[in-house]
C-alpha cells in the first residue's frame, strides 16, 4: 500500500509514530500525545475499564479452548477475575479456570447471562454469530473487539473488500457462485485458484487449492458461500501481532516467520530471519494501521505473504493467535497478558523480545496418546525447553500443545524446539521442519 497513506491513516487514528526494525513498537494515543520510541511506552496511562470499587475487574472469554487456557494464568497474575463460557467441563480452559460457566455460544440466553456478570467480554474464537454479539452490545455490555471489527474476521469477503477499499494489498479475489464464475476468474489469474469458505474456516478448513475446473466443481458442490482468490507464489509466510486499546494505544511485536503445512501452523521463528529493518518496520506499521482502520480493541494477528513484489495480507484474527505463543517466554509481555491489558484499557506492556530469538513448534497428535510417558525424556534432554500441553484428547494431526525454545542462534534454537515437539508427538526426535 502507499506508505504516505499508511502513515496518514495511523496518525489520524492514534496520533502516533513508529520506529521499527527487528524490535517492537509501542505507540501512545492522540489524547496523551504519545509516540513510539524503540520499544518503550511513552505517554500517560489510559483510563482502565470500569469495575465497582473494591473488587477486581471481571473479564469473560467466550470459548474455552487453549487460547482461553493460556489467558487464565496472566489474568491471575494481574489480579483479574477470569471467567470462561465453556460447552463442557472438560474443555481445555475449563480444566484450569476457577470460574467456568457452562453454555452454548450460539444461545442468546446463555450469552446474555454470561455477559451480565462481566465487566468486559472477549473471545477465544470467531464463531459467535454477529447478531448475538450485537445484542450484547445493545444491552450495554463492553464487548472487545466489537461486532463491527469482528465482522472482518468472520466474513472473508467483507474483509477483502474493506482492506482493498483502504488501499491494503491483498491477493486478487472475487465472490463466486458457479463454475462459470470460477473459470472466468481463472482467465484473469490462471490456475490454480484458491477457493475459500466466506465464513467458518480455520486451520486449513474451508480452504481448497483447485488446479482445474473439475476440482473447483467438487468444492462448489459443498453448497457453501465461496470466495475465489488468486494463488500467490510467495517466498514465505510472515505474521505480525499487534495490540490496540480503546484509548488508541498500540503495540507491535517483532515480525515472525510461520511455517505452514496442510493449512496448519507448524512452527514460528521470532524474529523472522533475513528480514531487513525497513521490511520489519513496514510490517509492524501495516499491522498497527489495519488495527486502527478496523477499530480493533485487543489483539490483531495479520498473516502475510512475503512476495517479490512486497507484502500481501492473507488472513486476520482478532484474538490471541498461534503465531504469538512464543511470547509466553520469548517476549517481555506475553500476547495473553497483552490482550487482557488491551481489552481492559490498561497501559500496554512491552512487546520486546526477551532473548535474541525464540522458536515455537506445535505438538500435533500422533498415534500414541500417552504424552506423559514422553514428557520426562523431553524435560531431561533439554531443561531449557518449555512445554505447554492443552489438556486435549490426542488424535492424529490435532494441536495438543506446543514447545518453545529461546536462544542466541536461530538454527540451533529451532533444532531444539523441533526435537522436543516431535519426540512428544511420536517418540522420535526429528530436526526437520514439521
Give the tens place of pLDDT for each residue, 191-226. 999 999 999 876 668 999 999 999 999 999 999 999
58-141 matches 172-230 in fold? no
Cα–Cα distance measured from residue 12 to residue 87, given in angstroms and rounded to the nearest whole number: 41
Work out the average pLDDT over 241-269: 95
Q: Which CATH architecture group holds 172-230?
A: 2-Layer Sandwich (3.30)
The pLDDT tens digits of the residues spanning 54-112 come to 789 999 999 999 999 999 999 999 999 999 999 999 999 999 999 999 999 999 999 99
Cα–Cα distance measured from residue 334 to residue 326, given in angstroms and rounded to the nearest whole number: 8
> From the CA atom positions of the chain, what is the Rg in Å?
21
Q: Which CATH architecture group holds 234-426?
A: 2-Layer Sandwich (3.30)
At residue 158, does pLDDT exceed 50? yes
Continuous segment of H or E residues that includes residue 421: helix 410-426
Contact 244, 291 (CB under 8 A): yes
What number of other Cβ atoms are within 10 A of residue 137's Cβ?
A: 15
> Of all residues in the chain, what percent carry a pLDDT higher than 90?
80
Q: What pLDDT does residue 373 have?
A: 87
**Torsion from C-alpha of 279, 283, 285, 288, nearest 10 degrees:** -170
Q: What pLDDT does residue 40 have?
A: 30
Listed in order, strand segments (DSSP E) in 277-398 are: 298-307, 310-317, 357-364, 386-389
Q: What pLDDT does residue 24 have?
A: 63
At residue 345, does pLDDT exceed 50? yes
State the CATH class of domain 58-141. Answer: alpha beta
Domain boundaries, the chain: 58-141, 172-230, 234-426
Q: What pLDDT does residue 23 have?
A: 55
The pLDDT tens digits of the residues spanning 361-372 come to 999 998 888 888
- CA-CA-CA-CA torsion sign (94, 98, 104, 106): negative
Distances (CA, A) of 360 to 69, 320, 349, 390: 17, 15, 21, 15
Q: What pLDDT does residue 49 have?
A: 53
Work out the average pLDDT over 23-29: 61
Mean pLDDT rounded to a whole number for the chain: 89
Contact 313, 334 (CB under 8 A): no
> Of all residues in the chain, what percent carry a pLDDT higher than 70?
87
User: pTM value?
Assistant: 0.90
Q: Which residues contact 277 (CB under 8 A, 6 or more apart)?
A: 20, 21, 22
Amino acid at each position: 500500500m502507499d506508505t504516505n497513506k499508511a502513515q496518514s491513516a495511523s496518525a489520524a487514528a492514534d496520533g502516533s509514530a513508529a520506529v521499527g526494525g527487528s524490535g517492537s513498537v509501542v505507540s501512545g494515543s492522540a489524547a496523551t500525545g504519545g509516540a513510539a520510541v524503540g520499544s518503550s511506552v511513552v505517554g500517560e496511562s489510559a483510563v482502565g475499564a470500569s469495575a465497582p470499587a473494591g473488587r477486581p475487574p471481571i473479564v469473560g472469554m467466550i470459548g474455552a479452548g487453549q487460547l482461553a487456557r493460556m489467558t487464565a494464568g496472566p489474568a491471575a497474575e494481574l489480579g483479574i477475575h477470569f471467567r470462561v463460557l465453556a460447552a463442557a467441563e472438560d474443555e481445555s480452559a475449563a480444566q484450569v479456570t476457577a470460574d467456568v460457566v457452562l453454555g452454548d455460544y450460539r444461545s442468546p440466553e446463555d450469552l446474555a447471562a454470561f455477559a451480565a456478570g462481566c465487566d468486559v467480554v472477549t473471545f477465544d474464537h470467531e464463531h459467535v454469530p454477529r447478531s448475538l454479539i450485537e445484542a450484547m452490545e445493545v444491552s450495554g455490555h463492553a464487548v472487545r473487539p466489537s461486532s463491527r471489527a469482528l465482522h472482518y474476521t468472520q466474513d472473508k469477503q467483507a474483509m477483502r473488500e474493506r482492506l482493498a477499499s483502504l488501499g491494503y494489498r491483498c491477493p486478487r479475489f472475487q465472490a463466486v457462485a458457479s463454475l462459470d464464475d470460477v473459470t472466468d476468474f481463472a482467465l484473469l489469474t490462471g490456475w490454480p485458484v484458491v477457493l475459500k469458505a466466506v465464513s467458518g474456516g480455520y486451520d486449513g478448513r474451508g480452504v481448497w487449492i483447485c488446479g482445474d475446473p473439475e476440482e473447483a466443481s467438487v468444492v462448489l458442490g459443498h453448497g457453501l458461500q465461496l470466495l475465489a482468490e488468486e494463488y500467490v507464489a510467495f517466498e514465505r509466510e510472515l505474521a505480525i501481532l499487534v495490540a490496540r486499546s480503546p484509548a488508541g494505544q498500540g503495540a507491535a511485536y517483532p515480525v515472525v516467520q510461520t511455517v505452514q503445512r496442510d493449512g496448519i501452523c507448524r512452527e514460528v521463528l521470532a524474529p523472522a530471519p533475513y528480514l531487513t529493518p525497513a521490511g520489519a518496520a513496514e510490517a509492524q506499521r501495516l499491522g498497527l494501521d489495519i488495527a486502527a482502520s478496523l477499530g480493533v480493541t485487543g489483539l490483531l494477528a495479520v498473516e502475510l505473504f512475503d512476495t517479490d513484489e512486497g507484502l500481501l495480507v492473507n488472513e486476520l484474527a482478532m484474538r490471541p493467535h498461534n503465531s504469538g505463543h512464543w511470547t509466553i517466554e520469548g517476549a517481555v509481555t506475553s500476547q495473553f497478558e497483552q490482550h487482557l491489558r488491551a481489552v481492559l484499557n490498561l497501559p500496554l506492556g512491552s512487546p520486546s523480545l526477551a532473548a535474541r530469538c525464540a522458536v515455537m513448534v506445535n505438538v500435533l497428535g500422533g498415534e500414541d496418546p500417552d504424552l506423559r510417558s514422553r514428557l520426562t525424556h523431553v524435560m531431561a534432554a533439554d531443561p531449557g525447553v518449555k512445554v505447554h500441553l492443552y489438556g486435549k484428547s490426542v488424535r492424529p494431526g490435532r494441536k495438543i500443545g506446543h514447545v518453545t525454545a529461546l536462544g542466541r542462534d536461530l538454527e540451533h534454537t529451532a533444532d531444539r524446539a523441533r526435537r522436543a515437539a516431535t519426540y512428544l508427538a511420536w517418540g522420535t526426535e526429528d530436526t526437520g521442519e514439521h
